[in-house]
Amino acid sequence: MKQNVAPTRSNLLKLKDELKFAELGYELLDQKRNILVIELLTLVDQAVEYEAKVNASLGTAYAALRNSVLEMGKLKVGNLTGAVNVENQIKLKERRVMGVKLPVVQTEFVDSGPYFSPLETSFLVEEALDSFKESLKLMGRLAELKVSIMRLALEVKKTIRKVNALDKIAIPDLKESLEFTVSRLEEAERENFILMKMVKNRLEKKKEDM
């Protein structure tokens, strides 16, 4: 209960306003918490999916590279990969979910292939190159998801603390203060009523005695 709250009508109105504001804040924060949790769970599912995609893509890339070495020889593959000139750009943007900034990662490649003649060159080299590029894109998306998950989890934790503070402390405290103030005002009204009645009775008795 609020300490040192004088049981006056002005304080009663203030307490009612504060209680309405606290209850509204609780409802909004509760909605925010639910939305954040739904978004968080969605991103966790996506992160699991993309982690599997990254592992599969890297598995394909390394298998293609290993098989191309077996087929063409390590020296020739090394010479071919040395001719590859691919520039990658990672662009970072952001989006917001209930005020939380989440990253958006875009991985782009700039190249001007072909880098070597297809004659006497295994298609596995191209497959390895394409798979590694795809792996980089997937890893960018996976990094985006993991950072988003960490930020959302932190915001969910903060929001839960605020919701609990309102639900367990602030709102009960305001309700108790409100009940106390109403009770004291009603008691004061009863006392005033009794006092006025006593005064009236005395005045009437004085009239009769006169």
Q: What is the pLDDT along the chain (210 residues), one digit of tens a residue?
A: 555 677 788 888 899 999 999 999 999 999 999 999 999 999 999 999 999 999 999 999 999 888 888 888 888 777 777 767 777 888 999 999 999 999 999 988 877 665 665 656 677 778 888 888 899 999 999 999 999 999 999 999 999 999 999 999 999 999 998 988 888 887 877 877 778 877 766 766 666 666
* Burial per residue of 56-72, b for 16 or more beta-carbon CB atoms within 10 angstroms, e otherwise: ebbebbeebbeebbeeb
CB-based contact 17:136 (threshold 8 Å)? no
**Could you tell me which of 142, 150, 125 has the C-alpha nearest to residue 53?**
142
CB-based contact 108:88 (threshold 8 Å)? yes
Domain residue spans in the chain? 20-156
Q: Which string of DSSP letters, residue by residue, matches 195-207?
A: HHHHHHHHHHHHH
Cα dihedral value 199, 200, 201, 206, nearest 10: 90
Distance, CA of 199 to CA of 131 (rounded, Å): 98
Topology of 20-156 in CATH? Helix Hairpins (1.10.287)
